[in-house]
Amino acid sequence: MPNAAASKTAITPRRDEDFAEWYQQVIRAAELAEPSDVRGCMVIRPWGYGIWENMQRQLDAMFRATGHRNAYFPLFIPLSYFAKEAEHVEGFAKECAVVTHSRLEVDADGKMKPSSPLAEPLVVRPTSETIIGASYAKWVQSYRDLPILINQWANVVRWEMRPRLFLRTTEFLWQEGHTVHESEAEARAETLRMLDVYETFVRDHLAIPVFSGEKSESERFPGAVRTLSIEAMVQDRRAIQAGTSHFLGQNFSRTSGIQFQNREGKQEFGWTTSWGMSTRLVGTLVMAHGDDDGVVLPPRIAPTQIVILPITPKEETRAKVLEACDQLARKLRASCYVDLPIEVEVDRRDLGGGVKNWEWIKKGVPVRIEIGPRDLEKDSVTMSRRDQSVKAKEFMAMEEFVQRASDVLMSIQENLYERAKKFRDDNTRKIDNKKDFYDFFTPKNSAKPEIHGGFALADWSGSREIEEEIKNDLKVTVRCIPLGDCAQAGRCIFTGEPSSRRVIWAKAY
């Protein structure tokens, strides 16, 4: 049973009581998504899809600014394509959905059943390296055809045994970039450049700080030479892999036959990359910023940045209040936040003010504006910010709010980032011995044993056996080996062997 404190919040249980259930309840209360009748799949509702659309639109603009263009490739991939790349198919084999028949027919009992076996089974796209490689092999003949810089927005299917809305579903939405380059150096540079695009997007648009680095060999994308990722910390102190960028070397070029005549007139295999992020970022956003009253959205990604709530207790004042709300909305839409018109909605529904207010709180709209008859008399508004207490209100002249609206949204964006960064930094520790490491990730015998862990920065020799041991003992993995100039010789805290740098360890989704 929820306690008295919990009953005062819109969401039960609270985060510190049951984070996993809190997350599910927030998704439901904010009307972001719901489970589908198809096991493991989800229905993304308009508010949740609006968040995804903003992510897609803004990230796509960043891709275009770096020279990439969008295309679309088939959902179905011949099984023989996967058979060419043994390491790749092994990494995805258990997650694949396979189409074996092409039609249905009615049997003697009146039931529908598959009837026509396919000559070759088709795998429902878990990722597109092999099918895109087949097209690239046709397109690339000479070094003059390179680089190829293409992105695809699509759905993918990876059979999921333990689904969780947005974080792990059998079908999900994503983008996947696939590029071919003339040289190894150019492809490696592309891998780093796209990782930087993801880091910039998640930091500046989602207000989430991340660590970026290289995946260990065991965590590497199947078939890749090098996998880079960005890792975010959410409020239960676990990590979420928020985006990945892979240097594929010539592995997929060899299996797909992507060859070109180089500048010396010789045949050479192309150097390829792939990189992606998915609707998992919506779940990351909820877990990073949400509170016990619902979602908290950074203004840059919110489908509605300002909602105007008319207060109309008497029918005779309703028309005048609504007219004032519409006029304010027009003025705000004529203003810009980060070079785009401010997104404003007037909630004209015939519902009680308290009900509407709480609906928007749970959805996480950054700013709520109330206008009633008394506000009209004073030519003022009542403003509430979602990054502050739900009871906090600020009163100001209507024109003053129009002038300040963009600054208020910027302030919320910056505040959410600083708050998330402080939380991450407060829960990131340098650890110098095995005992402290195990203690850090082991639930304590306390009233709230679930509050433990975070990100551990600890030296590691690179031993795969040690990595597997830690994973089995604690469900903790190497999230990434940080990039940059942070390399410093040390000793592995597990074996005493030499270590070139500290790596980031965490429990993860």
Can you give the pLDDT at residue 486? Answer: 60
How far, CA to CA in Å, does 235 sit from each of 128, 381, 450?
33, 33, 11
Can you give the pLDDT at residue 351? Answer: 87
Residue 89 resides in a domain: yes
Residue 45 resides in a domain: yes
pLDDT band at 8 (very low <50, low <70, confident <90, very high): confident
| Same domain, yes or no: 402 and 461 | no
278 or 107: whose pLDDT is higher?
278
Can you give the pLDDT at residue 3? Answer: 40
| Same domain, yes or no: 333 and 246 | no
pTM of the model: 0.95
Can you give the pLDDT at residue 5? Answer: 40
Q: What is the CATH number for 400?
A: 3.40.50.800
| Same domain, yes or no: 285 and 311 | no
pLDDT band at 2 (very low <50, low <70, confident <90, very high): very low
Residue 421 resides in a domain: no
pLDDT in tens, 358-399: 999 999 999 999 999 999 999 999 999 999 999 999 999 999
| Same domain, yes or no: 203 and 56 | yes
Half-sphere exposure of 376 (CA within 13 A, CB side): 15
SS3 375: helix
| Same domain, yes or no: 216 and 364 | no
Can you give the pLDDT at residue 485? Answer: 61
Q: Flag whether pLDDT at 72 surpasses 50.
A: yes
Reduced 3-state DSSP string for 239-287: EEEEEEEEEEECHHHHHHCCEEECCCCCEEECEEEEEEEECHHHHHHHH
- Is 36 in contact with 172 (CB distance < 8 Å)? no
- Where in 380-488 does DSSP place strands (E)? 380-385, 394-397, 428-430, 455-459, 477-482
| Same domain, yes or no: 212 and 142 | yes
Mean pLDDT value of segment 292-312: 98
pLDDT in tens, 491-503: 999 999 999 899 9
| Same domain, yes or no: 240 and 152 | yes
Residue 436 resides in a domain: yes
Mean pLDDT value of segment 445-472: 85
Residue where a domain stops, chosen among 386, 411, 436 = 411
Name the residue with tokens 């949400």.
290
Mean pLDDT value of segment 267-276: 98
First and final CA of the chain: distance in angstroms? 27
Residue 194 resides in a domain: yes
Residue where a domain stops, chosen among 380, 411, 442 = 411
Q: Flag whether pLDDT at 449 surpasses 70.
A: no
Can you give the pLDDT at residue 1? Answer: 33
How far apart CA 413 and CA 434 sit, in angstroms, is: 39
Helices (H) and strands (E) in the chain, counts: 15, 29
pLDDT band at 6 (very low <50, low <70, confident <90, very high): very low
Q: In the numeric block, which tokens belong to residue 465?
A: 């056996």
pLDDT in tens, 127-137: 999 999 999 99
Can you give the pLDDT at residue 451? Answer: 58
Structural domain harbouring 499 = 428-506
Q: In the numeric block, which tokens belong to residue 461?
A: 């020799």
Q: Flag whether pLDDT at 85 surpasses 80.
A: no
Q: What is the CATH number for 469?
A: 3.30.110.30
Mean pLDDT value of segment 261-267: 98
Mean pLDDT value of segment 405-412: 98
Residue 446 resides in a domain: yes
Can you give the pLDDT at residue 89? Answer: 73
Residue 3 resides in a domain: no
| Same domain, yes or no: 283 and 312 | no
Mean pLDDT value of segment 82-104: 86
The percent of residues above 70 in pLDDT, for the chain, comes to 97
Residue where a domain stops, chosen among 357, 384, 411 = 411
Q: In the numeric block, which tokens belong to residue 165?
A: 């809305």
| Same domain, yes or no: 326 and 444 | no
Collect all residues with Cβ–Cβ distance below 8 Å to 244 and sequence separation of at least 6: 215, 221, 227, 228, 229, 275, 276, 277
Mean pLDDT value of segment 15-42: 96
pLDDT in tens, 221-256: 999 999 999 999 999 999 999 999 999 999 999 999
Mean pLDDT value of segment 63-90: 91
pLDDT in tens, 309-352: 999 988 999 999 999 999 999 999 999 999 999 999 999 998 88
| Same domain, yes or no: 50 and 135 | yes
Q: What is the CATH number for 86?
A: 3.30.930.10
| Same domain, yes or no: 281 and 331 | no
Q: Flag whether pLDDT at 402 surpasses 70.
A: yes
Q: Flag whether pLDDT at 53 surpasses 80.
A: yes
Give the Cβ contact number of residue 115 at 10 Å: 12
In this structure, are strands 226-233 and 210-214 parallel, antiparallel, or unpaired?
A: antiparallel
Residue 389 resides in a domain: yes
| Same domain, yes or no: 204 and 118 | yes
Looking at every residue in the chain, the average pLDDT score rounds to: 94
Can you give the pLDDT at residue 475? Answer: 96
Q: Flag whether pLDDT at 91 surpasses 80.
A: no
